């Protein structure tokens, strides 16, 4: 059985943390290319976590009434 290091972190919280890291990457002391790559990496990770956090919407099947 694998124990999680931080079991109380939600997916939405992790996504918010990655968005904060993305913003911080823009102002780091690195080249423009490196800053942009780090920004893109963290924003993609945040987007993926947001997609996992939102339950998928299943279409409701409409049944026709028989007369």
Per-residue pLDDT reduced to its tens digit, 10-63: 888 999 999 999 999 999 999 999 999 999 999 999 999 998 887 655 556 656
Which residue pairs from 15-20 have beta carbons closer than 8 angstroms and sit at least 24 positions apart in sequence? 15/45, 15/46, 15/47, 15/49, 15/50, 15/53, 16/46, 18/42, 18/43, 18/45, 18/46, 18/49, 19/43, 19/46
d(CA 57, CA 5): 30
Domain boundaries, the chain: 11-53
Q: Tell me, what's the pLDDT at 32?
A: 96
Rounded-to-integer distance, Cα 15 and Cα 25, Å: 15
pLDDT in the model for residue 34 = 96
**What pLDDT score was predicted for residue 12?**
87
pLDDT value of position 11:
87
């Amino acid at each position: 059985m694998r124990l999680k290091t931080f079991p109380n972190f939600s997916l939405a919280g992790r996504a918010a943390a990655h968005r904060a890291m993305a913003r911080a990457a823009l102002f780091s002391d690195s080249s423009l290319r490196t800053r942009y790559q780090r920004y893109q990496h963290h924003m993609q990770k945040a987007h993926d976590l947001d997609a996992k956090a939102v339950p998928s919407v299943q279409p409701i099947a409409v049944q026709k009434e028989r007369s």
